[in-house]
């Protein structure tokens, strides 16, 4: 009976792989990464109405529009806006890029601003605190599990 068995080395799991399931396509494709750059989709229109204020503020922040010729892997069906006809625009969003250092500096700026606002609120709470009825300001959380 042992003669009918196959050696383990001959038995592969490649034959037993599952069929790949269907997945929904991404609404906004990811461009091919470039060293030293971060990509971001910038809103150029909402409900068909142009949003020049948002576009100009993002351009002043340092985001530069990406040319469609630089990313041929992104398939464009039609040109949505004549103003951005050479750029990658999908669903009212335009693909832009900025140097990684600029994005990190921007993130640090907003992190510092957020921490300053939290300190300000904490200082106001502590100033108004009364020893007879203290306001406590606990900035930690814990997870407990019930016995079920």
Residues 5-56: tens digit of each pLDDT: 767 666 666 666 778 888 887 778 888 899 999 999 999 988 888 899 999 9
CA proximity to 65, closest of 21, 97, 91: 97
CA distances from 143 to 140, 146 (A): 10, 10
Interatomic CA distance for residues 53 and 45, integer angstroms: 10
Total Cβ atoms within 10 A of residue 134: 10
Given a contact cutoff of 8 angstroms between Cβ atoms, the answer to whether 28 and 93 are in contact is yes
- Say whether pTM exceeds 0.85: no
Tell me the pLDDT tens digit for each residue of 42-94: 999 888 888 999 999 999 999 999 988 888 888 765 555 567 778 888 888 89
């Amino acid at each position: 009976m042992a003669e009918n068995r196959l050696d383990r080395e001959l038995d592969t799991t490649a034959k037993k792989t599952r069929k790949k399931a269907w997945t929904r396509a991404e609404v906004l494709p990811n461009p091919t990464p470039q060293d030293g750059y971060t990509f971001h989709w910038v809103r150029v229109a909402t409900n068909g109405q142009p949003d020049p204020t948002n576009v100009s503020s993002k351009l002043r922040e340092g985001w530069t529009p990406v040319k469609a010729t630089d990313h041929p892997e992104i398939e464009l069906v039609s040109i949505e806006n004549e103003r951005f006809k050479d750029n990658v625009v999908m669903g009212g969003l335009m693909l832009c890029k900025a140097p990684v250092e600029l994005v990190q500096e921007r993130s640090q700026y907003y992190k510092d601003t957020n921490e300053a606002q939290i300190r300000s609120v904490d200082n106001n709470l502590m100033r108004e605190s009364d020893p007879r009825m203290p306001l406590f300001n606990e900035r930690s959380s814990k997870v407990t599990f019930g016995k079920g």
